[in-house]
Amino acid sequence: MKRIGDRSFLYAWQAIRAATQPGPEASLWQVGEVAWRRHRVSHSCPDFAVVNDVHRLDHSGKNRGWSLLVVSETWWNNNHEVIRSQIWAAHLAGPRQLIQSWMMQQAETRQAKDDFPPARPTSLISF
C-alpha cells in the first residue's frame, strides 16, 4: 500500500467494507473506533443509469483523528450492462499515515479471521 487510493488500498477497503457492512442497504456502522457512513445517489432514465455510493470514514481518536472519502461509481446502458465502473478515494483530514495504518491493520485482522482472501484481484471489485 503505497498511497491512499492505490489498487492495494482500494482492494483492502472493499474487502473491509464487505466484511463489516451489516447489510446491503446499511448507511451507518462502526468498525472499531471508525464511524462508517454510506450515502447512495442514483439516477436513471431510458438511456442509462448511474449509482454513486459515497462512503465517509471518520476516526475520532484524540490527536489521532482522520477522515476519508471513498466513492464507488457505476454506469449501466439501456440493456442493463455495466459500461463504466470506478472507485476512488480522497483524504479529507488527519495524518495520511494513520489512515493507511488503520487500513493495513484491519486488512490483516480480516485475513487472520479469514473474512477475505489475501490474493489481490486483477481488477477492482464493483458493487
Interval 20-46: pLDDT, tens: 999 999 999 999 999 999 999 999 999
Question: What pLDDT, on a 0 to 100 scale, did the predictor assign at position 55?
Answer: 98
Residues in the chain where the model's pLDDT stays below 70: 1, 114-127
Contacts of residue 88, Cβ cutoff 8 Å, sequence gap at least 6: 5, 10, 70, 71
Backbone angles phi, psi at 92, to 5 degrees: -105, -40
Question: What pLDDT, on a 0 to 100 scale, did the predictor assign at position 67?
Answer: 97
